[in-house]
Structure 1
């Protein structure tokens, strides 16, 4: 819980219709199991104390008293447990009967929430027995608790972790046009619990799945959906125990239908609050009719079962990855094609190094020109060898241009750079930052001047990872007329290039695969004695897979460095030791702040994913912001 994670559980026990004592024992067993597995909250199905399918037995006083005794039994058993329990029971108040959720913590009933929308169509006859809880707000004595609020307008808040606020709606409340969960979320609830008895029909499970998923997405919340299962009467319906835990449109956990048991999901309430603050259209209502009931649950370590991908920018499944790659390249190429069509320009200039980024930029240009029906010869690719260029990359650049049928020029800039060294009185033997950046800026000058010659747009090749780290020469490769890779992180550049290789024929496929196997390098320092690349970017700034991980969770999720470090240790366990992760996270944070000035004047480029650093899009920060808060927070973490 220290980092905002809450372990939630949805539990469907086997029940016996109208056997409340038996059902209470089943609930108690599941509560104990959930508590032992570290759950902070466990949700049970609608009317689980009695069974949903009691029908006219709900009107029997004997059943209602038995249900109250069962709740009392669960309440008594929970006194030593540090888990919030939400169970369903019928509760009579004067002449009305309500379908309720009872919230119990450490032997105390925190509140009772009645169902608002009572169905009376198809196979559902709830109006025959239950009254709507809409606008009900009454204090009652129930089980072993006195003066308990029975009202749908309640939000339960953990005093030690205020981001953990949950509200409750019951079954049909989710399926109606205006769900109670909307108001609950707008009044601060980050977690919605739904006690449900949704019968299973052909095709209904997929609809239910999407309904829960999208409700969590619309409300920037976590949604715990718990469904009735085995033991309910099958006189007219069958219940499958279809439990779902969703967070912000992602499914954290989902049960196999027609089974019983518990599912768990590690909910990140801290991220949910960040998403709400980030979205200016999510506006709190602070409706005065909602009552906040606090409970004292101390923060503790959560044994996370949730997995965090080492490559958060890359889809996890092969099928999703293939379709996503096609979509990304299409977005990139459509952005470029639109810019060309708008300006009437029919030529582009591209510095083709034989490395990953310029290869992806070439792929995008080819797709854009094909879409516009422009001859690929109007793609002017230029290789500009100098001190660090190797035969491998130079050869690959030429092979790529030939395979794609683009124009190609080889312009050696060595003499130009040496003349520049003379002009500024720089010793060529001193291979410092001046030595490196002089080459990068000369290449940019060549591209810009040739763009004037050919009436062409200069296409930027730099990627999102380089922008985050500032790994670009200011007013050198940092500058272009349209930057097609500006929102593509390095880890994704690899997958996009691999996707292009997979669907290409020889000889293009072979050269693309060799590009993928070439070490990432700006090739600004001389090769080694074997003519191989000596300057490897990841040896200097660190592994891109780590930096992309840090980038995603810092910018997209707003996490603190300590939380990112905690998660990275889990994600990269066995691949990097803790000291290495912390070292490169420190480097990332320092560079991210120090290099903002390069991002403040970026050229245009298409936004592709949810993370971009363009000052005209998603990211604005002062170039002289202090990094101390972030570094100090990280420094306090032990390895």
Structure 2
């Protein structure tokens, strides 16, 4: 009977669809773990295909390629080195499962199939996978391992079944995406499963960005007494070998690396860095280009991009028109200088006037209004897309969640772009993060330390500068009030009466509710962006465009 075991936790960053590359990632980590004397290496959920594969996993060619990669890795374990637990799509009798497969001694020893398939929020697993049966433990070198997969530990049933059928340790492969307060929620759930079963638990989470999702890693080990034995870092790849010993009370993990999780603002900022950085790198863009207006949204976007990619891969363009203030020109240049990014000025006056002249016969007799304002915004979008087409840089759009909620954005104008790091940030959070970044240099940031924007960018009243003396809050409520109402409507789905009872004016709540529903058609065409909150527009909150309901 085995009394000691060295288990390596491989917190890795796979790429969806890159089966060969992901298998090589497994191979490299196995070699590193073997060098540290590991007996077993545990990888995250669906590491072979990447997670979430969405409808890609329904392609028979992908299924076959994943199977071949797993069988090749299994054959390599004949070298007497560590065994592997890898996540992969697994086909049995024509059905596709989300599986964790044990490879050892040159063979596929067995597979455990995910039983609880999440089908809420960002998850659509019932669309593409078949639920597996209640699992029993799987034997590895004399030890009975329970291998519940991600959602399998969010309710008691699966781990209870594993405990009752003789599991000695719970090894949990995960693809758990980041959102505010999610790390605490994971920890609390894991503690509950440990208390219920009396078994130690190792939680191995994926790290990296995938479209709008960010996987923050932060893998950990809890002993049966609920003590934290291991805590891996968030937002970075890591390989940690843990030492386990059989005692009279069961298996126990020796204390090892314990990295404190980041605080709220650091966590949000690093999620944006990782999400944007992986989106650009995995899609093989040479860099990004954005309109730098001298305002806070574009300044924060530029800072995140420089930190995620390096200043040499960020190109800022100021696109002034007659309403652009001298202060905005100064502030945009100052932001670019502080970040060390390329900065150019392309005036849009002549092309805007050309469009206005071309439309003059059709608009004859009509007073100028928001139409002319939108022409300015759309000319900026056209200019940035022309630069993108010519040089290959992806356009970053810079709108925040407050403005996108109520439609305070121009379709095909300032909404033009391939990715939006600020998509799920309310304006009040934009202010918080800008102040935070001016005072902190995030771990792993490639941009400069110190201030990244002048204080005036943070302090001045936000303005789209599409007409004289324009201020955002002239059209909207003060951002603190607007964001509080939106949080009630979007994240919490509260009825209007309950929001009014919190002290808000009914006419303000009804106005914001109306704008929220009317802007759905714009949001449906918006660029993807990093998920931060519980209800991100797009993957989480899916409302109909044609919608006559009002509360």
| TM-score normalised according to structure 1 size | 0.44
Q: Secondary structure at the match of 2:451?
A: helix
Deviation at 1:485, TM superposition (A): 0.8
- The answer as to whether partners of 1:347 and 1:454 remain within 8 angstroms in 2 is no
Q: Tell me, yes or no, if structure 1 residue 444 matches structure 2 residue 366.
A: no
Which structure 1 residue ranges, 5 or more long, are not aligned?
Answer: 1-180, 184-209, 220-319, 371-375, 527-533, 570-577, 631-639
Q: Secondary structure at the match of 2:317?
A: strand
Deviation at 1:460, TM superposition (A): 1.1
Query: CA 1:501 to 1:597, structure 2 compared with 1: closer, same or farther past 3 Å?
Result: same
What's 1:566 paired with?
Answer: 501
Q: Secondary structure at the match of 2:529?
A: coil
What's 2:292 paired with?
Answer: 352
- The answer as to whether partners of 2:291 and 2:316 remain within 8 angstroms in 1 is yes
Query: CA 1:510 to 1:606, structure 2 compared with 1: closer, same or farther past 3 Å?
Result: closer
Q: Distance in 1 between matches of 2:156 and 2:269?
A: 37
What's 2:540 paired with?
Answer: 618
Which structure 2 residue ranges, 5 or more long, are not aligned?
Answer: 1-154, 158-183, 194-259, 442-446
Q: Secondary structure at the match of 2:396?
A: strand
- The answer as to whether partners of 1:461 and 1:484 remain within 8 angstroms in 2 is yes
Deviation at 1:323, TM superposition (A): 2.1
What's 1:378 paired with?
Answer: 313
Q: Distance in 2 between matches of 1:217 and 1:353?
A: 48
Query: CA 1:555 to 1:510, structure 2 compared with 1: closer, same or farther past 3 Å?
Result: closer
* Structure 2 residue corresponding to 1:519, chosen from 461, 483, 493: 461
Deviations 1:437-468 (A, max 9, x none): 00000000000000112210000101111111
What's 1:502 paired with?
Answer: 439
Query: CA 1:321 to 1:559, structure 2 compared with 1: closer, same or farther past 3 Å?
Result: farther
What stretches of structure 1 move > 6 A for 4+ residues in a row?
Answer: 215-219, 504-508
Q: Distance in 2 between matches of 1:562 and 1:603?
A: 33
Deviation at 1:408, TM superposition (A): 0.5
Q: Tell me, yes or no, if structure 1 residue 538 matches structure 2 residue 473.
A: yes
* Structure 1 residue corresponding to 2:510, chosen from 567, 586, 589: 586
Q: Tell me, yes or no, if structure 1 residue 467 matches structure 2 residue 409.
A: no
Q: Distance in 1 between matches of 2:319 and 2:330?
A: 12
What's 1:339 paired with?
Answer: 279
* Structure 1 residue corresponding to 2:335, chosen from 376, 384, 400: 400
Q: Tell me, yes or no, if structure 1 residue 423 matches structure 2 residue 363.
A: no
Q: Secondary structure at the match of 2:263?
A: helix
Q: Distance in 1 between matches of 2:429 and 2:401?
A: 10
What's 2:306 paired with?
Answer: 366
* Structure 2 residue corresponding to 1:476, chosen from 413, 434, 450: 413
- The answer as to whether partners of 1:552 and 1:611 remain within 8 angstroms in 2 is no
Deviations 1:378-431 (A, max 9, x none): 311000011221011111001110111100001110111000001111579944
Q: Secondary structure at the match of 1:509?
A: coil
What's 1:432 paired with?
Answer: 369
Q: Secondary structure at the match of 2:528?
A: coil
RMSD: 3.1
Deviations 1:152-178 (A, max 9, x none): xxxxxxxxxxxxxxxxxxxxxxxxxxx
- The answer as to whether partners of 1:467 and 1:613 remain within 8 angstroms in 2 is no
Q: Distance in 1 between matches of 2:392 and 2:189?
A: 51
Query: CA 1:479 to 1:511, structure 2 compared with 1: closer, same or farther past 3 Å?
Result: closer
Q: Secondary structure at the match of 1:482?
A: coil
What's 1:265 paired with?
Answer: none
What's 2:244 paired with?
Answer: none
- The answer as to whether partners of 2:381 and 2:413 remain within 8 angstroms in 1 is yes
Deviation at 1:488, TM superposition (A): 0.7
Query: CA 1:385 to 1:507, structure 2 compared with 1: closer, same or farther past 3 Å?
Result: farther
Q: How many residues align?
A: 298
Q: Distance in 2 between matches of 1:565 and 1:621?
A: 23
* Structure 2 residue corresponding to 1:410, chosen from 332, 345, 361: 345
Q: Distance in 2 between matches of 1:360 and 1:435?
A: 27
| TM-score normalised according to structure 2 size | 0.50
- The answer as to whether partners of 1:322 and 1:499 remain within 8 angstroms in 2 is no
